[in-house]
Amino acid sequence: MKRSSSVLVFILVLAMLLASCAQPQAPKEAVDVSLRLPWIINAQFAGPFTALEKGYFKDEGLNVTINPGGFDINSITLVAAGEDTFGLHDMGSLLLARSEGIPLISAATFFQKHPGGAMALATSGIKTLQDFAGKTMGFQEGGPWMLTKAMMRKNGVDPDSMKQVTIGYDLSPLYSGQVDLTTVYATNEPLIAKTQGYESVVFLPYDYGIETSSEALFTTDQYLKDNPDVVCAMVRAIQRGWQYAIDHPEEAVDIIMKYGKELNKEAELAQMQAQIAHLVTPDSEKYGLGYMTQARWQTAHDVLREEGALETDVDVTKVFTTQCLEK
């Protein structure tokens, strides 16, 4: 009888040890960390703020301070300099940082479907990518424009077949007919156009074979090496925050309204609802929020190389890790 009890205790202890080795666990003592956003506070960051408000960070043993970004506040440089522990940014920026010798690594990308692309008014008659030829494209330099050009090339449309005009973020050139299309984020400009009485059609590169993601959670190589438990705790808490926000969008917006300045609740709710299609995909439903693949990082890399933004190749396997996403 005593021998059976000893064997049972041994098996239970062994099972606990094996379980604890499966993935880094939450830190035993509360750890102070900061998260730097790439932009001002709005519904784009509903996941982290919901995690903060609902106590998901505390559940993981983290005391998290969320710091806003802005025009002159770059999460890449601040995390690299050690001013912030974690940051959010897009794949392209992290690849460019790595090419410059800045050792940053992503542990999750929460927007599975990159929202950057191109938009035309519904009344324009532009219904397919082939309709782009001969039209005028208004653009701003950056991700949506590079992804749009890659989408066109992949689908047999030469970007040079269009007249290309640099414009600002104001949609009036589109409304007035100065341009036929403009680069946009699908979670922003189409919503603005609708509130101003204009229906639109959006062309997302992700839907046309240029699959990249955005909203990458990152830290430094050294911090991940020294604190894998903290990094994975951060991922888990934000995953929970986003899941709650997806399930309760109005409450998530109410949370954002507490932290953001001069936000319009109706506009934030529209953005939150639009984001769900970018957060929830068949992949995230199967593998979990924040899911990443090497193929998507490679696609982002290849787009940058094709556009000349990256002068040399980068080993994409050094820019991300799935150790916190494995179930």
Return the exposure string of 73-94: e unless at least 16 CB atoms fall within 10 Å of the residue's CB, then b. Answer: ebbbebbbeeebbbbbbbbbbb
Summarised one tens digit per residue, pLDDT across range 144-182 is: 999 999 999 999 999 999 999 999 999 999 999 999 999
Residue 12 has pLDDT above 50, yes or no: no
Please state the domain extents for the chain.
22-112+212-318, 116-208
Whole-model pTM: value is 0.90
pLDDT band at 17 (very low <50, low <70, confident <90, very high): very low
Superfamily of domain 22-112+212-318: Periplasmic binding protein-like II (3.40.190.10)
Summarised one tens digit per residue, pLDDT across range 48-73 is: 999 999 999 999 999 999 999 999 99
Return the exposure string of 217-230: e unless at least 16 CB atoms fall within 10 Å of the residue's CB, then b. Answer: bbbbeebbeebbbb
Amino acid at 93: S
pLDDT at 165: 97
Report domain 116-208's class: alpha beta
Burial of 202 (0-12, 13-18, 19+ CB in 10 A): middle
> How many other CB atoms are there within 10 angstroms of residue 247's CB atom?
10
Percent of the chain with pLDDT over 70: 91
> Residue 200, by phi and psi: left (phi above 0), alpha (psi -120 to 50) or beta?
beta
pLDDT at 282: 96
116-208: same fold as 22-112+212-318? yes
Amino acid at 26: A
pLDDT at 29: 82
Q: What's the rounded Cα separation, in Å, for the pair 16 and 12?
A: 6
Residue 10 has pLDDT above 90, yes or no: no
Helical H segments across the chain, by residue range? 2-22, 46-53, 56-59, 75-80, 91-99, 143-154, 172-176, 189-195, 221-226, 228-247, 249-259, 265-279, 282-287, 294-307
Dihedral of the CA atoms 131, 133, 137, 139 (nearest 10)?
100
- Averaged pLDDT, 306-313: 95
pLDDT at 3: 39
Quick check: 103 and 220 in contact, CB under 8 A?
Answer: yes
pLDDT at 261: 87
pLDDT at 326: 80
pLDDT at 27: 53
Place of tokens 């025009």: 71
Residue 121 has pLDDT above 70, yes or no: yes
